[in-house]
Structures are given as C-alpha cells and as structure tokens.
Copies of this chain bind each other. A is one copy, B any other.
Amino acid sequence: MRSMSVRKSGKATEVVESVEEMRGRVAGLRSSLRTIGLVPTMGALHEGHLSLIRAARRECEVVVVSLFVNRPQFGPAEDYDMYPRTWEEDLGHCNSEQVDLVFSPPEKMIYPAGFSTWVDVERFSTVLEGAFRPDHFRGVSTIVTQLFNVVTPDCAYFGQKDYQQMLLIQTMVKDLHIPIEIRGCPIIRESDGLACSSRNRYLKGRDRQSAVVLYRVLQLAKQRIGDGCRDFGKICYEMKEMIETTPNCETEYVEIVSPETLQPVSPRDESVLAVVAVRVGSTRLIDNQRIHLG
C-alpha cells in the first residue's frame, strides 16, 4: 500500500492495489457500520469527477475512488493507448478532496487470462453511444459490477454527462437487485459551456473553441422547445447544420429522445433528452441536456 504525504487536515488518501486488500479494508469498515461511497473513474480527473467526489464526501462516511482505465470499453480503433494517465495529479486531487481510499488494481487482477464473464444491459447497449461503440457498454457494466462486488459501496456516483451510462447502470442495479444506490450528478461545464471531460485534453488550438458547439446546439434545442416547437426532427436538423458549419466538426449523432427509454419521444414524456456526439478533429465528444416540455 502506497500513501500520500499527510494532508494538513486529516489522514492522507491511501492507495489500495489488490482486490484482497480492498476486501479486507471494506470488511473492517462494514463491521464498524460505516457507509461507503464509490466514485468509479478512469483517472484523468477533472471538475466533473471532483463534483462526484464531493457529493460522496457529503453523503458517506468513507469515500473510495477507483482509478482504472478499462480496456474492454474501448473499441479497437479507439483511444485506449493514448487515454490520459495522470496518476500523480489524480492522487493530489483525491488527497485534497479527502478521499479515504483510492482503488487502483492492476489489469491482470480485473481481466486475468481466461476471463469470460460479461454483464450486458441489452436495452441500452445498442442505441446512441452503443450504436457507434459496439461492446462499449458491455465493458462498462462488467467493470462496474466488479468494482461494486469488491468495494460493496452503499452509494455510487455517476455523472449525467455520460447519461446513457448512468441509465444503464441504474437499470443493471434494478434488474440484478444490486443493493447499491446510484446517484446521478449534474454535468459540470467550463466557463464557455464545454462539458468537462478527460478527452478535452486532446483538443488543441482552434478545436477547443469549435468544441463549444456541442453546448451551443443543446442551447439551441432548449430555445426552440421553449419557444413551443415540437418538431424534434426539424430541431435536430438545425442542430446538425450548426455543427457542420463549425470548423473541423463532424456530427456522429444528434437526437431528441425520451429520457427514460432513449427511444423516440412519446406523448407521455414530460421532458426530453437532447443528445449529441461530435468529432472535433480526431476527438470524439458527447454532451446532453434534459429539457422540460412544460
């Protein structure tokens, strides 16, 4: 076990690298009836992650942050190899935010030779992000299941930036009767509206400016719907047009869907979810906004 230098106030974040040691720590916490909050991350922590950690810190006695870059959720042509690894910075953040434990297992402990068990939430795995990233969500639900089984938190925290992922985890927890509360936390944005994402680090030069278009088209959708427009196809068309006229931007998808099902909006829906995936140069970004129909 490695440990950071002691914080000015309180104990330093401790780093646990083995499943067995984590189990031992959790057993001790459980026997003293302390509540555990888990923030699963792939590291490269930003303000979005910090907001999840702060929510956990408010609600739970013990806060665990997992740092694990989960290979199976990356497609073969995706950015697993170049995904930012910022270990020292991440640990510094955890320390500042009074995280109790960082769980950072080696890959071979999570996916040993012969590993062959996958959790699949069929309903949400093949639409939107799932359509563009086959097997992505299978990778997500499987690592989250493992983390849940090792850390056995009372609550786990997910960002609404990855809305589909949050919905998928909520569905998995409900379907499999996993005794954990899932908290979805609001999107954190830069001052110009760009949603915080580890992948924002890839944006160089003018692409950083272009990337604001994701936020701008969501604001456009909100505006149109606020003005009374219910022709979602027309709104999506306008959104796409705005993306395609932004330098270096290419639309992957723009949709307005039901927030509960990710299917076409139904007359029963009281709000809709506008979702967008855009390639800015070689960087793929997603964003979303829930909009009340009022």
Contact = CB atoms under 8 A, between A and B. Distances in A.
B149 A179 contact: yes
A119 B117 contact: yes
A145 interface: yes
A176 B118 CA distance: 9
Interface string A121-159: 111100000000000000001100110011010000000
A177 B124 CA distance: 24
A292 interface: no
Contacts of A117: 119-122, 141, 171-172, 175-176
A239 interface: no
B171 A150 contact: no
Given A150-B177, A176-B145, A179-B149, A122 B118 contact: yes
A176 B146 contact: yes
Number of copies: 2
Interface string A153-174: 0000000000000000001100
A149 B121 contact: no
A114 interface: yes
B179 A23 contact: yes
Interface string A103-122: 00000000000111111111
Contacts of A116: 121-124, 171, 175
Interface residues of A, number: 27
A45 interface: no
A98 B71 CA distance: 47
Contacts of A172: 117
A236 to B, nearest CB: 26
A178 interface: yes
A120 B120 contact: yes
A212 B222 CA distance: 71
A23 B179 CA distance: 9
Nearest to A149: B177
Nearest to A123: B116
Interface in A1-31: 19, 23
A121 B142 CA distance: 12
A193 B119 CA distance: 39
Contacts of A115: 175
A20 to B, nearest CB: 10
Given A117-B176, A146-B175, 11 more contacts: A116-B123, A117-B172, A118-B120, A118-B122, A119-B120, A120-B120, A146-B176, A146-B177, A149-B176, A149-B179, A152-B179
Closest 6 CB pairs of A and B: A116-B123, A117-B175, A149-B177, A116-B122, A117-B121, A117-B172
